[in-house]
């Protein structure tokens, strides 16, 4: 069997209805996994796309991480081998004007929900001695950004929690790693790409000379979910076209 095969594995991808999460779900299905695509809204389109690349049906699951404990019972109900924490939100305002409500909303979804979803997964997976967690971090796990204080704090937290969980669980068969996407062609960056000056400034900083595609993140997720990465623990992989190297 290929070191990149996910045959016989079941994966849960959060925030899988569009963009990066959707691409990850499709790529995992193509690699052979039975994929549960979850989101605040239905993931029917994602399930249909998975059906085009896999003979497995794929499934949709509604999870709204406005409740950080939304996934607390998911892993007790069925064996899941791979967890991809992609769900996340962002709120923008100057730090001097940022509200407590916007702070709490972002931290609940991006940090608190991620931790307690990982915890629920680990409680089910540790007795089996096998499992893979892939968290979606950000360039703002390393940089400060502007006008996104809670998002920056949450993504720094994702990087730290990824390392902490790897420290605790690597010796017990669970691999915990994260991907830090660069500037990716999704709905979230549509306004940036439509602004000629901003788009040009971003591209000038990216050594690869192009915006990333959701598939760039998806294939990295396949690697981190597959046996090929069995000795990778606590890593935050930058998939950014070289942005952080510039």
| The predicted structure's pLDDT at residue 200 | 94
Please report the pLDDT score of residue 238 as a whole number: 98
d(CA 105, CA 107): 6
Beta carbons of 16 and 37 less than 8 angstroms apart:
yes
The per-residue pLDDT for range 155-164, each reduced to its tens digit, is: 999 999 999 9
Q: Domain for residue 22, yes or no?
A: yes
CB 163 within 8 A of CB 113: no
What's residue 188's pLDDT?
Answer: 78
pTM of the model: 0.97
Is 199 domain-assigned? Answer: no
Q: Is residue 193 part of a domain?
A: no
- Residue 245 in any domain: the answer is no
Residue ranges in the chain whose pLDDT is less than 50: none
At residue 241, the pLDDT reads 98
The parent domain of residue 69 ranges over: 10-186+214-238
Within-domain flag for 169: yes
Number of domains in the chain: 1
CATH code, domain carrying 62: 3.40.50.720
CA distance 124 to 21: 23
Q: Is residue 113 part of a domain?
A: yes
Catalytic annotation, residues: 151
**Residue 178 forms part of a structural domain:** yes
Q: Which helix (H) or strand (E) holds 174?
A: strand 174-181
The answer to whether residue 131 is domain-embedded is yes
Distance in angstroms (rounded) separating the CA atoms of residues 212 and 205: 13
Positive/negative CA dihedral, 163, 243, 246, 230: positive
């Amino acid at each position: 069997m290929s070191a990149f095969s996910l045959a016989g594995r079941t994966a849960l991808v959060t925030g899988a209805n569009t963009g990066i999460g959707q691409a990850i779900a499709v790529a995992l299905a193509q690699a052979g996994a039975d994929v549960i695509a979850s989101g605040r809204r239905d993931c029917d389109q994602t399930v249909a796309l998975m059906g085009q690349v896999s003979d497995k049906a794929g499934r949709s699951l509604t999870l709204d991480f406005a409740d950080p404990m939304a996934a607390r019972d998911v892993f007790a109900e069925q064996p899941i081998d791979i967890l991809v924490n992609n769900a996340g939100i962002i709120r923008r305002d100057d730090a001097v004007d940022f509200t407590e409500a916007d702070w709490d909303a972002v931290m609940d979804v991006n940090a608190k929900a991620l931790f307690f979803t990982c915890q629920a997964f680990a409680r089910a997976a540790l007795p089996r001695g096998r499992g893979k967690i892939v968290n979606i971090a950000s360039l703002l796990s390393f940089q400060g950004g502007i006008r996104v204080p809670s998002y920056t704090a949450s993504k720094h937290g994702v990087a730290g929690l990824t390392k902490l969980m790897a420290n605790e669980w690597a010796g017990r068969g669970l691999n915990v790693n994260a991907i830090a996407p660069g500037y990716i062609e999704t709905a979230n960056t549509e306004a940036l790409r439509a602004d000629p000056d901003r788009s040009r400034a971003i591209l000038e900083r990216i050594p690869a000379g192009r915006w990333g595609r959701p598939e760039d993140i998806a294939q990295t997720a396949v690697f981190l979910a597959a046996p090929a990465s069995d000795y990778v623990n606590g890593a935050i992989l930058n998939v950014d076209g070289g942005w952080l190297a510039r």
